[in-house]
Amino acid sequence: MPAPRLEFEVPENSNALDYLDELNTEKELVRDRDLAFTRFFLDTFDWRLFRKGFILVSDSLDGRFKTAWQTCDNAENLRVLGSDRIPVLIEDFPDGKMRSTLAPILEMRALLPQTRLECLQRRWRLLNKKKKTVVRLNIESYTMEDVNREPKKLRSRVRLEAVRGYDKDFIEVQALLQDRLNLCPLAANLLVASLNKVGRHPEDYSPALDLKLEPSMRADSAIRIVFCRLFSILERNESGTKQKIDSEFLHDFRVAIRKTRALLNQSQDILPGDGIKNFAREFAWLGKATGPSRDLDVYLLHFDRFKKMVPVSIRDDLEPLRDFLRNKQHHAQSELVKVLGSGRYAQMKKAWQKFLAKPIEEKPQERLAAERVKLIADARIWHVYKVIHRKGQAIDSDTRPARLHRLRIHCKKLRYLIEFFGSLYPEKQIRHLIKSLKGLQDNLGAIQDLEVQGASLQEYSTEMMESRTAARTLLAIGVLVQELEKERERGRLEFMQRFADFDSAQNRKLFQSLFNVTIQRDSIEQP
């Protein structure tokens, strides 16, 4: 059990050193060496640690980094890691409790410095009459830079740290600071305070849409709001995609593209047709350009799982395939960076922003532009659900893979529509439908991915054969392809249960009550 500690924030226009005079009348103060260091608060781009209630603090001093894993309430330092650099990926943590606990939270994401502070720590020890150290007291001051590199000072903090066996002394000093000097224990931790200083807050990025649409909104106005949010997600992930910080930047970038394309398809007769056709073409081009790099990311992310699918005796024979995939990924990433630096991409973004910023016309020409968005959402979601219900019930063990793939596309369309317009409906019921639909999507996605991966691996094997790759590696790839096919067949068998779960009587009733609530018009149902 760690020794207790407390932090107090020094009020504005107060000097923290003034409190020492009061303390010196109660305990003898001994000055220790001051420390100047740089403090980094680390988290993933999407704040995975903070969302779980944790913070990683990495202090840089004399060329070494001390990384502490803390709870967000500053109550406890759970683990401390010493290293010669800031940890970035989970592989940078040695085997042990910290790594095993962080791994399922971080997954493939990189740790980034969310904020950086220059710290000066002035340190004292409080001694009792026997000259024993009973409490440690630190006064810390902090400076940081805003986005314009202008220095910003945070309020100083007084930190008390107990010494084991002297809890009574710790309580006495705590009471002195609180009761006689009117200091209050901190509610917000230093990470939150430093972010607020520059106008940020934790969890300021999420790939979720988090929209608040109103049922009575005009369709053209509501759809522009969704497009703007998707474009914001795309832009936030662009730099990380170019720099290849981790694979999830490209993933979120691609998802924003796919959702934009799906919504463009739903925007016919709502937004100007010429613009919709042009941007549908441009986003299709961008989606295709991002495909090769993402596909290879997936292979590399799953590579250790692939190795476990083959017998232990031939697992190491697959390592040349990993090197082959890395080389291909490096080339694909270089091509993607060229696309994202191209004039076509820059012009597309500029034109898209201009299109979205156009004022809403009072009397639009598009026949559904001024229609209530709730009516559009009801009709479109209900229509796609009926298609999935009909097509899914017609699938059996002999159904061709292409029909499963088309069903998967309809499921994606339904998922996107529910996400776009979910705020128009009761949150609890929408969460239930998305969870149920996700189970079916995961099954269909796995079946499709396994089929594509098997075919691609056979192509890669042919390429590697031409470069005189060892026969044992080619044989190991062949075994892997066979195992992927077996797993795909298991997915096919699982499909019937997954679809039955989604197409349950409860879900059918819920879809009926939520979305089949208006007088349907074919001209609204089908874009």
Kindly report, as residue ranges, where domains of CATH 2.40.320.10 are found in the chain.
5-197
Region 24-53: mean pLDDT is 90
Q: Is the pLDDT of residue 380 over 80?
A: yes
Q: Is the pLDDT of residue 25 over 80?
A: no
448-502 pLDDT, tens digit per residue, is 999 999 999 999 999 999 888 899 999 999 999 999 999 999 999 999 999 999 9
Q: Is the pLDDT of residue 78 over 90?
A: no
Of 203, 44, 41, the C-alpha closest to 110 is 44
pLDDT at residue number 69: 85
The set of residues, in sequence order, having a beta carbon less than 8 Å from that of 237 and lying 6+ positions away, is 249, 250, 252, 253, 256
pLDDT at residue number 522: 56
Of 165, 120, 117, the C-alpha closest to 138 is 120
Mean of the per-residue pLDDT values for the chain? 91
116-175 pLDDT, tens digit per residue, is 999 999 999 989 888 999 899 998 999 999 888 899 999 888 888 889 888 888 888 888
Q: Could you write out the DSSP letters of every residue in 20-62?
A: HHHHHTTSEEEE---EEEEEEEEE-TT-HHHHTTEEEEEEEET
Considering the chain, what percentage of its residues have pLDDT values greater than 90?
A: 72
User: pTM (2 decimals)?
Assistant: 0.90
pLDDT at residue number 191: 92
Region 197-201: mean pLDDT is 91
CATH class of 375-516: mainly alpha
CATH class of 5-197: mainly beta
Which one-letter DSSP state was computed for residue 309? T
Region 344-367: mean pLDDT is 94
513-525 pLDDT, tens digit per residue, is 999 865 555 556 6
Topology of the domain covering 219-358+366-371? CHAD domain (1.40.20)
Of 13, 19, 15, the C-alpha closest to 173 is 19
Rounded Cα distance, 455 and 179, in Å: 73
Region 270-289: mean pLDDT is 94
How far, rounded to the nearest angstrom, does the alpha carbon of residue 245 sit from its chain's CA centroid? 13
pLDDT at residue number 155: 86
Kindly report, as residue ranges, where domains of CATH 1.40.20.10 are found in the chain.
219-358+366-371, 375-516
